[in-house]
């Protein structure tokens, strides 16, 4: 049955499958011709046709693809990444075709994102250059579009499929990065690993999300224990090969959030974070201290300090509403770098007003996902916290990673709404559970008079 209530009858299914096969065959032939001269155009057409075919068979599948597509950082025409294009198409399909029921349950999250975007709008009006305007609409898709797409994935029962596809992509990246790291070690070079279209911090961010997700063990993920720990170990090896300190600290923060809640399957508090946090934080602090003691003004630690100072200088030129997004492409300030800190980037682009909206958005999101049934909301809170901590030392508005946290948050609400509608909501037992189901006793019936 389709998600909007129309049954996919057995008679229609062969017709739809035949149509899809025919469309893909014709598209493949056309793409073979166009790709020789117009590679980007061919890719856009192919992407649109594939999404249309998925929408024809089962519209929520387009939303499912948006989660694993966050690892695709290649840019089409030098403008948008593949991850952004897939997200935009998925959001359009969800709004037009899927229209999931129960979206009101996520209104606190949606209002938080809307509040931030409203606070950033004055900067767009006062600095009406093209990059600023385009990027504002881009952020609408990254925040609100991601939330709605995630909700549709969870509400239609596709959360496990989407998450497993994402984890599979992360395992491939982790294995690839680990193999390259071993080659470097064999050559006597202990250097960070980068892959095509993926720098070390992008690799680390993706794998950090994967670690937190599988460690949280949401009920809708349904992974066996051996796969959970295997994923954690392989992704941990990939982060180590990339030497991404931001990802290490962010993953520890996410795992710490998970450890504050009882496991749905055991009712016990996980304790591994206390054993993992100390050595990881020691390694990170040692690496930073070595860079600061080296006196090399061009290493990443010193470079960040220089960028922080320059960002504050630029912010002071328009402290209330900021100088607009992508100011580093305008050449107006003589600097061409994206600030490697979420708050400083928002402060320089949207000013004090925008930064206030940004912090409110995260505070409300963490509060909202924390207060819902912990069986569903804990992984959302952990992923949001992971991204926020990562962005204290790295770029925040990065394709894929700026949307993934809101997709996961939306999935949490979508799965919860689906289980409630079906009467299968899982509630943790215990005295401290604020989400215990009430047992409604029948009223006593008075005896009939004889």
Model confidence pLDDT, tens digit, residues 205-258: 999 999 999 998 898 888 888 888 899 999 999 999 998 888 888 999 999 898
Does a structural domain hold residue 256?
yes
- Same domain, yes or no: 175 and 291: yes
Does a structural domain hold residue 282?
yes
Euclidean distance between the first and the last CA atom of the chain, given in angstroms as a whole number: 54
Low-confidence ranges of the chain (pLDDT < 50): 1-13, 31, 33-34, 36, 38, 431-445, 449-450
- Same domain, yes or no: 63 and 34: no
Q: How far apart are CA 179 and CA 265, in angstroms?
A: 35
Does a structural domain hold residue 445?
no
pLDDT on residue 403: 92
- Same domain, yes or no: 15 and 65: no
pLDDT on residue 336: 80
- Same domain, yes or no: 117 and 48: no
pLDDT on residue 211: 94
- Same domain, yes or no: 152 and 276: yes
- Same domain, yes or no: 141 and 46: no
Contacts of 26 (CB under 8 A, 6+ apart): none
Joined tokens for residue 46: 């192919």
Give the three-class secondary structure for 445: coil
- Same domain, yes or no: 238 and 308: yes
pLDDT on residue 60: 84
- Same domain, yes or no: 168 and 214: yes
pLDDT on residue 82: 84
- Same domain, yes or no: 286 and 361: yes
CB atoms within 10 A of CB 261: 19
pLDDT on residue 97: 83
270 sits in the region (left: phi over 0; alpha: psi -120 to 50; else beta) called: beta
| Phi, psi of 176, rounded to the nearest 5 degrees | -65, -50
Q: How far apart are CA 426 and CA 437, in angstroms?
A: 9
Q: DSSP code of 442? A: P
pLDDT on residue 176: 94
Instruction: Count how many residues are written for the chain.
Output: 450
Does a structural domain hold residue 443?
no
Model confidence pLDDT, tens digit, residues 300-325: 777 888 888 899 999 999 999 999 99
- Same domain, yes or no: 141 and 24: no
- Same domain, yes or no: 102 and 20: no
| Phi, psi of 405, rounded to the nearest 5 degrees | -60, -35
Domain that holds residue 18: 1-58
Percent of the chain predicted with pLDDT > 70: 77
Q: What is the count of structural domains for the chain?
A: 2
Does a structural domain hold residue 446?
no
């Amino acid at each position: 049955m389709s998600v909007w209530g129309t049954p996919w009858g057995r008679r229609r299914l062969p017709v739809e499958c035949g149509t899809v096969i025919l469309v893909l065959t014709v598209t493949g032939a056309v793409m073979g011709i166009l790709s020789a001269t117009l590679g980007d155009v061919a890719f856009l057409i192919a992407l649109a046709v594939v999404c249309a075919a998925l929408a024809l068979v089962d519209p929520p599948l387009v939303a499912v693809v948006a989660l694993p597509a966050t690892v695709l950082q290649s840019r089409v025409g030098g403008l948008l990444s593949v991850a952004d294009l897939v997200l935009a198409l998925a959001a359009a399909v969800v709004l037009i075709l899927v229209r999931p029921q129960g979206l009101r349950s996520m209104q606190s999250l949606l209002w938080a994102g809307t509040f931030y975007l409203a606070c950033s709008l004055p900067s767009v009006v006062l600095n009406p250059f093209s990059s600023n305007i385009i990027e504002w609409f881009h952020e609408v898709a990254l925040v609100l579009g991601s939330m709605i797409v995630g909700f549709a994935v969870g509400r239609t029962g596709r959360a496990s499929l989407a998450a497993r596809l994402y984890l599979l992509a992360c395992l491939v990246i982790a294995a690839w990065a680990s193999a390259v790291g071993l080659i470097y070690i064999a050559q006597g070079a202990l250097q960070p690993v980068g892959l095509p279209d993926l720098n070390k911090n992008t690799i680390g961010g993706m794998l950090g999300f994967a670690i937190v997700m599988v460690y949280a063990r949401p009920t809708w993920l349904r992974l066996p224990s051996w796969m959970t720990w295997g994923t954690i170990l392989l992704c941990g090896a990939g982060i180590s090969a990339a030497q991404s300190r931001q990802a290490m600290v962010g993953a520890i923060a996410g795992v710490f959030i998970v450890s504050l809640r009882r496991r749905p399957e055991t009712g016990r508090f996980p304790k591994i974070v206390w054993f993992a946090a100390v050595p990881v934080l020691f390694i990170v602090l040692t690496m930073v201290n070595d860079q600061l003691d080296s006196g090399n003004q061009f290493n990443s630690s010193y470079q960040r300090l220089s960028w922080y100072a320059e960002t504050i200088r630029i912010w002071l030129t328009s402290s209330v509403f900021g100088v607009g997004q992508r100011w580093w492409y305008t050449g107006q300030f003589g600097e061409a770098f994206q600030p490697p800190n979420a708050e400083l980037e928002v402060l320089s682009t949207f000013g004090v007003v925008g930064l206030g909206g940004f912090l409110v958005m995260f505070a409300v999101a963490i509060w909202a996902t924390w207060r819902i049934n912990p069986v569903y909301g804990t992984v959302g809170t952990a992923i949001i916290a992971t991204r926020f901590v990562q962005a204290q030392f790295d770029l925040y508005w990065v394709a894929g990673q700026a949307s993934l946290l809101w997709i996961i948050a939306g999935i949490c609400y979508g799965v919860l709404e689906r289980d409630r509608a079906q009467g299968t909501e899982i509630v943790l037992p215990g005295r401290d559970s604020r989400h215990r189901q009430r047992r409604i006793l029948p009223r006593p019936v008075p005896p009939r008079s004889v």
